[in-house]
Structure 1
Amino acid sequence: MDIVEVARRSGLPASTLRFYEEKGLIISAGRSGLRRTFDSGILERLSLIALGQRAGFSLDEIARMFAPNGAPQIDREILATKAEELDHTIRKLIAMRDGLRHAARCPAPSHMECPTFRRLLGVAGKSLSHRSAQKSRTPRRR
């Protein structure tokens, strides 16, 4: 199947397919004229890549989930760790949603007078200071 057909069937632009090949996520089987060709398993592999991205894995992390021969080689511990990260994110999002709903219905004269809204501000402030601390520890690239 050539790159145009893979792009059509997967919904991904050819530029993304070329980028994935450059990153080692997919491997073309050869060329037909100037067009890359791919084997029949390419759509399943692209589905695995999409699933990994939706789960929050980076492309580099996803690339490490394939053996050199291209077969999936997924470490179950990495999946369990990502599931825990998602659980943590879900709990934070639920708390944020509930706080926003409360603030929308709060009878306080202003949001700044609402104790729940003030707690949301505190959480947001902690998040900002945490990000700032992480950035200061990350070495800068030149």
Structure 2
Amino acid sequence: MPRIAPLELLSIGDLARRAGISVPTVRYYDERGLIQSSRTAGNKRLFPRHTLRRLAVIAAGQRVGLTLQEIAAALADLPSTRPPTQREWRHMSQQWATTVARRIRQLEALQSSLDGCIGCGCLSLGTCTLFNPGDEAASEGPGSRWLRTADKAAADD
């Protein structure tokens, strides 16, 4: 395989193959502004080699459970003309770590409440009248009680 110079442009097929994703995925990311291409006179998409780093950042964000919208917001703070620096990556990953920690606390709260009332949605029909007589949970707001409790616990930490 020939070595690619840092400023060389990659075709969409080469980029997809090197990143381990499909060509339609590359198009999708390009159309949503997560990555940027230039076009030839024949309308062929070409990508700077550093796009591989942006794709790695996208994959990392997805692995930790971030939505593409959350990843796009993080990428918006990075320059599109070069790969992120170590400092930029560290800053972004610290923000992601906070999000992941909050989600872990929410999941732990869910885990500990699975054997009881999850707070009206309602999957505990047999015991709901014991835990939530007269649908008192309705006064706490919409959604299930465990999620509100988990969100509050995550915010308090």
Identify the TM-score tier after normalising by the shorter chain. Answer: 0.5 to 0.7
Asked if 1:69 is matched to 2:79, the reply is: yes
The answer to whether the Cα contact below 8 Å between 1:2 and 1:32 also exists between their aligned partners in 2 is: no
Q: For residues 127 and 5 of structure 1, what CA distance do their matches in structure 2 show?
A: 51
AA at the equivalent of 2:20: G
Stretches of structure 2 lacking an aligned partner (at least 5 in a row): 1-9, 123-136, 145-157
AA at the equivalent of 1:83: V
Asked if 1:42 is matched to 2:59, the reply is: no
Q: For residues 120 and 12 of structure 2, what CA distance do their matches in structure 1 show?
A: 43
SS in 2 for 1:12: coil
Report the TM-score, using the length of structure 2 for normalisation: 0.55
The share of aligned pairs that are identical, in percent, is 32
Q: For residues 74 and 101 of structure 2, what CA distance do their matches in structure 1 show?
A: 18
Q: Which structure has more helix as a fraction of its residues?
A: 1
Asked if 1:126 is matched to 2:119, the reply is: yes
Aligned residues: 110
The higher-RCO structure (CA 8 Å, 6+ apart) is 2
Aligned counterpart in structure 2 of residue 81 of structure 1, from 98, 120, 123: 98
After TM superposition, list the pairs within 5 Å mapping 1:90-129 onto structure 2: 91-92=108-109, 95=111, 120-123=114-117, 125-126=118-119, 128=121
The answer to whether the Cα contact below 8 Å between 1:7 and 1:17 also exists between their aligned partners in 2 is: yes
How far the C-alpha of 1:34 sits from its partner, in A, is 3.7
